[in-house]
Amino acid sequence: MTSIKFSKEELERYSRHLIIPEFNIEGQRRLKGAKVLVVGSGGLGSPVLLYLTAAGVGTIGIIDFDVVDETNLQRQVLFTVDDIGKPKSTSAINRLKGLNPHVRFIEHNTRLTSDNALEILSEYDIVADGTDNFPTRYLVNDASVILQKPNVYASIFRFEGQVSVFNYTDKDGNTGPNYRDLFPTPPPPGLVPSCAEGGVLGVLPGIIGSLQANEVIKVITGIGEPLNGRLFLFDALTFETRTLKVHKDPEQPQIVKLIDYEIFCGLGGQDEEAVDVKEVTVQELENLKDRGSDFQLIDVREPYEYEIANLSGTLIPLAEIEQHVDQIASDKQVVVHCRSGVRSAQAIQTLEKSFGFTNLYNLKGGILAYAEEIDNSLAKY
């Protein structure tokens, strides 16, 4: 590390680090020599990237295949209205270069998959997982385990967040638990809504992402005690925190290869039959309206979502669907919709299994697809 040198400008920039006795120039050298991959540049990725860049991490990779959407701006503080429609990875790097020109950025404007994960992660020392879906979360974990990389994990939902450091090898050579030791298998599809379905308080990712960045810096520099073998929980509403112990599960099979994580999480392939429901497209729904067909439209979102944008359907929130089954017709076609099609498919499964309905159709893509293909005035939702 002594071979890593700093310019006068860098020494001035990082002076508040250098005067910390436990950190000093050695800690800054370790930051400059480190390579960190941030998976996702959204709600969590934004503060992680901002603070790692400001701190002086030498090389930062960003993997994100998404584009900036107006709904992102409530929490993804890396972006502005001028970035809407542009690739997140590109917009993020443009912003971060202005924050610290001494950092090297590597853009991966692609989806992380089982085919490319090992190749991409192998180029970095540490992974910061800011993903919002289970298939990618398990993929990041398994690739990190195979490659023996620390995985600094965080997740958020509504008012709650959690942070941990998985697959961390301490100074004695002992490797701590990984994500599968905490969550051996994913929850059933649709049980845990995404942030798009369930919402998130805009400031929460800033809090949790900052804690995640803090753990990355601790792992790089060796200061303090990383959240190895511990899961930190934060509730923004009550301002209560808890730290839980996480232990390695001796019965967990060794991770030796990557798998199809969509199938593993019940989102495709062989498990797809379990979530299969009849569908209609938004164009087919529009044709039903134009022909004056006798059908019923059910909206299973929450009341506040209905107020933002609706298709004039009967509002029955998913959680109340079984209590209001008498409002659902059984003698004609019924189209059920939500925001993107996940909750409505779950509602149909419940109604078919518990009440024997055979006339229910899920609106493919939900109101989002309707806004994009039929009525652009709904697009802001």
Residues in the chain: 381
Q: What is d(CA 192, CA 143) in angstroms, rounded to the nearest whole number?
A: 24
Cβ partners under 8 Å of residue 93, min gap 6: 62, 105, 107
Angle, helices 204-221/45-55, rounded to nearest 10 degrees: 40
DSSP 339: S
Of the residues 78, 277, 338, 371, only one is catalytic, namely: 338
**195 in active site:** yes
Geometric angle at alpha carbon 248, from 245 and 250, rounded to 5°? 140
SS3 290: helix
**338 in active site:** yes
Q: What is d(CA 343, CA 116) in angstroms, rounded to the nearest whole number?
A: 31
Of the residues 31, 77, 127, 195, only one is catalytic, namely: 195
Cα distances (angstroms) measured from residue 232 to each of 154, 170, 175, 255:
9, 19, 19, 25
Tokens read off for 104: 């090297």
Active site residues: 195, 338
